[in-house]
A and B are shown apart, each in its own frame.
Chain A
Amino acid sequence: DGGITQSPKYLFRKEGQNVTLSCEQNLNHDAMYWYRQDPGQGLRLIYYSQIVNDFQKGDIAEGYSVSREKKESFPLTVTSAQKNPTAFYLCASSIFPGRSYNEQFFGPGTRLTVL
């Protein structure tokens, strides 16, 4: 059945290391998004992509990088430049934007902990 998968569910990283979070969707959605959630905070947009091979910075892109080589995949790399990487990371997708509003569908999330 269709949906969004994120792996792994829990991820531990040593300070100073880069780490890549996976996000795959089989919903045939054009747009994909990465959010970060911290305790007591809403969802903050890191990066988003409307189409393959194109992506835009969100509100908190510093210390992160993404790629969109395939429609189904939108991996997020948390680099050592990210000062506070410990957080819950959520990937989402939606049907091609701009036609009309469409809700975003979310994956189960990845909890990243920096040791």
Chain B
Amino acid sequence: DQQVKQNSPSLSVQEGRISILNCDYTNSMFDYFLWYKKYPAEGPTFLISISSIKDKNEDGRFTVFLNKSAKHLSLHIVPSQPGDSAVYFCAAGTQGGSEKLVFGKGTKLTVNP
């Protein structure tokens, strides 16, 4: 049973436009969420995170929104750049808990010049 779902395997956007990547979760115990970016044959790199006490966190071109009632979060990238083309993973965990993260299957973002 997938606790973290990324229902869009792929997304294609034009350079300069907004990219919106979505993530849904089922476990109400999750109280922090992270986004990772991964290039082929490399390890994921941390992008941005959000705690459940917030509904928005922003870092440069990247903003994560959390809707707890809907158990939904999204990553907005604006403006999108060709270098943003990668697979993006959503992950969820519990603060002070077992420190395990649960990952979604990822969304492959392609930003076209």
Binding site for B on A (CB under 8 A): 4, 6, 31, 35, 40-45, 48, 50, 58, 88, 90, 92, 94, 97-109, 111
Contacts and interface: CB of A to CB of B under 8 A. Distances in A.
Interface residues of B, number: 28
17 contacts: A35-B103, A40-B9, A40-B105, A43-B44, A43-B91, A45-B100, A45-B101, A48-B100, A58-B100, A90-B44, A98-B96, A100-B95, A101-B32, A102-B99, A103-B49, A106-B45, A111-B41
Contacts of A108: 42-43
Interface string B39-76: 00111111001010000000000000000000000000
Contacts of A104: 46, 101
A108 B40 CA distance: 10
Contact of B89 (A43, A100, A101): A43
Contacts of B42: 108-109
Given A42-B89, A45-B100, A109-B42, A101 B49 contact: yes
Given A90-B44, A101-B49, A107-B43, A42 B96 contact: no
Contacts of B106: 42
B98 interface: yes
Contact of A43 (B6, B45, B95, B103): B103
A43 B88 CA distance: 12
A99 B96 CA distance: 5
Contact of A101 (B36, B41, B95, B105): B95
Contacts of B34: 103
Contact of B43 (A31, A41, A50, A106): A106
